[in-house]
Structure 1
Amino acid sequence: MPPYVAYSLLLRGQSVISRNIFKRYTHSVPRTLPCFSLEGKTCVVTGASQGLGSQILAAFVLSGARGAVVDLKLSSANKAVDELKAEAKRAGLTAPEIRGYECDVSSKDGATNTFDQIVKDFGKVDVMVTNAGITGGSPAETYDLDDWKQMLDVNVNGTFMFAQAAGKHMIDNKIKGSIILVSSMSGSIVNRPQKQSAYNVSKAAAGHMMRSLASEWGEHGIRVNALSPGYIQTAANEGDEMEELSKEWVKMIPLHRIATPEEFRGTVVFMASDASSYMTGADIIVDGG
Structure 2
Amino acid sequence: MCGMPQQPPQRSTPERPARPARPDASMSLLNNVMDHSLDDGYAEATARKEALGQSGLPKTLRAKLGLAAGLVLAALVVTVGAAQARVTAPVVAKEREELIDRIDQETESADKLEGQVDSLRGRVGEMQREALKKHGGDTAELAGVLSGAVAVHGPGVKLVVDDAKSATTGDGSGPRESNGFSDTGRVRDRDMQRVMNGLWQSGAEAISINGQRLTSLSAIRAAGDAILVDNKPLVPPYTVLAVGDGQRLSTRFQNSADGLYLHALQENFGVRTSISAQDDIELPAAPSVIVRTAQPRAEQKGTS
State which structure, 1 or 2, has the greater radius of gyration over its C-alpha atoms: 2
**TM-score of the pair, normalised by structure 1:** 0.25
Higher relative CO (Cα under 8 Å, sequence separation at least 6) belongs to 2
